[in-house]
Amino acid sequence: MRIAIFGSGYVGLVTGACLADVGHDVICVDVDADKITRLNNGKVPIHEPGLETLIHHNLKTGRLRFTTDAARAVNFGLLQFIAVGTPPDEDGSADLHHVLEVARTIGMHMQDYKIVVNKSTVPVGTAEKVQYAIAETLSARGVEQDFDVCSNPEFLKEGAAIDDFSKGARIVVGTDSERARQAMQECYAPYSRLQNKLIFMDIRSAELTKYAANAMLATKISFINEIAHLAERLGADIEQIRHGIGSDPRIGYHFIYPGCGYGGSCFPKDVQALTRTSRDLGHESHLLKAVETINQRQKGQLFHKLSQAFDHDLRGKNIALWGLAFKPNTDDMREAPSRTLMEALWAAGARVQAYDPEASEECRRLYGQRDDLTLSRRRDEALEGADALVICTEWKEFRAVDFEALRQTLYHPVLVDGRNLFDPDTVKAAGLRYYAIGRGDSL
């Protein structure tokens, strides 16, 4: 099939590369000319395991191409995917500016029947707005042209995006058109061969399914963090509790890892957007508001623990920080707990010596050159001259640590572990003061 994808970010690039890899003919379009030039030269602007290889391979086969030429993209494919950003507006609702701009672009250039597939995360009712924007543009051109709009929310996770796209549990499609249904079936047939993963539903339900999924996952994280908060004050160990509840198949182990809060480009904005939708309907969602409040508190925990460990005086302290990305295997720092921590440390007069396997460049882009931020190339380099170590992201390379050597390197034997990576007794036996999440210390 011939497919156009608007937006060459995490979702657009992964979708484009994966669909080309199974044999479809794909064109990816973006308004960022610099990004498109780099992509055409085989340079992938984001870190996502496996993506570069996939893009190189499919550029070579000729099934994948990148352009800024929207007219070419619209006339290239029957399927027109929208995978542009939907950042939060000032009031927390999703900003549909980019989505509707793409809709108008499609309407502007459309010469024959198209199926417009919305992959961006958008509030219920957006497909109708997209439909209207296209129809209005067509009418301004004086053109009568049939088209369909459907919803195909994306569930991939950054860091495991290729696998999620190719081997995900389900593919949700919302449509009321038989023609669109058949086309979507054909598009996704390579992923649905062994087991039918396609779930068709009405458009509004598909749009809400995405928010419901993210809100549920965020709720699980805030729930375990709430229990961790209690455990810490009651002298209990959240890791033992996690095993105790996760072993119940009704609960399960997924997404009940306590930590320093969720970040990224999706959970925070999607929970906010759903809260906003709820408020607009005259219903205050106490549950979703609590999920967000708990997460904000949790993101402040690392600073709180560190501050207490240093008697509330962090002026002039050098704090080593391992992990800047909001989670492992990505360079994405959107809403990352590391940012909350760094900004609080700087406000308290401390310096940060950070190491991340992939996100240093992004960190420099966000914060620029400043005296109180050093970006190290190795994890041990970040420890040189440091007073304490804080771990924000559970990258694999942080899992094995020589605690004796760590104690000897740090000026103060303080280790704050935002991801509960270690056994407290082992760390403490090496003479370190260990502050994890919900593990019996009440700092």
User: Does 172 contact ligand NAD by CB under 6 A?
Assistant: no
The structure tokens 């993963």 sit at: 197
Q: How many CB atoms lie within 10 A of CB 252?
A: 12
Would you call 246 helix, strand, or coil by DSSP?
helix
Q: How many angstroms separate the Cα of 161 from the Cα of each of 144, 340, 356?
A: 39, 25, 20
Instruction: State the minimum distance, in angstroms, from the CB of residue 34 to ligand NAD.
Output: 10
Scanning residues 214 to 273, which ones bind ligand NAD (CB under 6 A)? 265-266
Burial of 68 by CB count in 10 Å (0-12 exposed, 13-18 middle, 19+ buried)? middle
The interface region with ligand NAD, picked from 5-13, 228-236, 301-309, 367-375 by CB under 6 A, is 5-13
Provide the minimum distance between the beta carbon of 432 and ligand NAD in the complex, in angstroms, as a whole number: 35
Binding window for ligand NAD (CB under 6 A); candidates: 98-106, 193-201, 398-406, 431-439: 98-106
DSSP conformation letters of 76-92: T-SEEEE-----B-TTS
Residue closer to ligand NAD, measured from CB, 90 or 144? 90
Binding part of the chain for ligand NAD, among 3-11, 140-148, 216-224, 430-438 by CB under 6 A, reads: 3-11
Work out how close the CB of 128 gets to ligand NAD at its nearest, in angstroms, rounded to a whole number: 17
Question: Of 22 and 31, which CB lies nearer to ligand NAD in the complex structure?
Answer: 31
Measured distance CA(296)–CA(289) in Å, rounded:
11
159 binds ligand NAD (CB under 6 A): no
Residue 25 — left, alpha, or beta (φ > 0 → left; ψ -120 to 50 → alpha)?
A: beta
> Does 8 sit near ligand NAD (CB under 6 A)?
yes
Does position 126 interact with ligand NAD (CB under 6 A)? The reply is: no
Q: Which of 12, 123, 263, 418 touches ligand NAD by CB under 6 A?
A: 12
Q: Is the dihedral of CA 256, 259, 265, 269 positive or negative?
A: positive
Q: Please, which residue, 35 or 109, has the CB nearer to ligand NAD? A: 35
Stretch that binds ligand NAD, among 23-31, 107-115, 191-199, 352-360 (CB under 6 A): 23-31
Amino acid at 213: A
Minimum CB separation of residue 158 from ligand NAD in Å reads: 4
- In the bound state, the residue with its beta carbon closest to ligand NAD is 9
Size of interface with ligand NAD, in residues (CB under 6 A): 26
Q: Is 26 in the site for ligand NAD (CB under 6 A)?
A: no
Pick the closer one to ligand NAD by CB: 101 or 380: 101
| Conformation bin of residue 196: beta by default, left when phi > 0, alpha when psi is -120 to 50 | beta
Residue bearing tokens 């190719």: 166
Q: Between 164 and 372, whose beta carbon lies closer to ligand NAD?
A: 164
Picking from 136, 202, 201, 134, the residue whose alpha carbon sits closest to that of residue 170 is 201
Nearer to ligand NAD, 104 or 407 (CB): 104
Any idea what DSSP says for residue 250? T
Residues 73 and 3: their CA atoms lie apart, in Å, by 8
Whose tokens are 């009440």? That residue is 442
User: Among all residues, which ones are annotated catalytic?
Assistant: 266
Judged by beta carbon, residue 273 or residue 375, the one nearer ligand NAD is: 273
Q: Does residue 83 interact with ligand NAD by CB under 6 A? A: yes
- Is residue 30 at the binding interface for ligand NAD, with CB under 6 A as the rule? yes
Give the binding range for ligand NAD (CB under 6 A) out of 136-144, 153-161, 274-282, 388-396. Answer: 153-161
Q: Angle at Cα 407 formed by Cα 401 and Cα 412, nearest 5°? A: 130
State yes or no: residue 362 binds ligand NAD (CB under 6 A).
no
Task: Report how far residue 59's alpha carbon sits from residue 159's, in angstroms, rounded to the nearest whole number.
Answer: 22
Does 168 participate in binding ligand NAD (rule CB under 6 A)? Answer: no
58 binds ligand NAD (CB under 6 A): no
Tokens of 149: 């709009």
**CA dihedral (355, 360, 363, 364) positive or negative:** positive
Q: How far apart are CA 289 and CA 175, in angstroms?
A: 31
Interface residue with ligand NAD, options 3, 4, 7, 59 (CB under 6 A):
7
- Dmax (CA) for the chain in angstroms is 78
Contacts with ligand NAD, residue ranges (CB under 6 A): 6-12, 29-32, 35, 83-86, 98, 101-102, 120-121, 154, 156, 158, 265-266
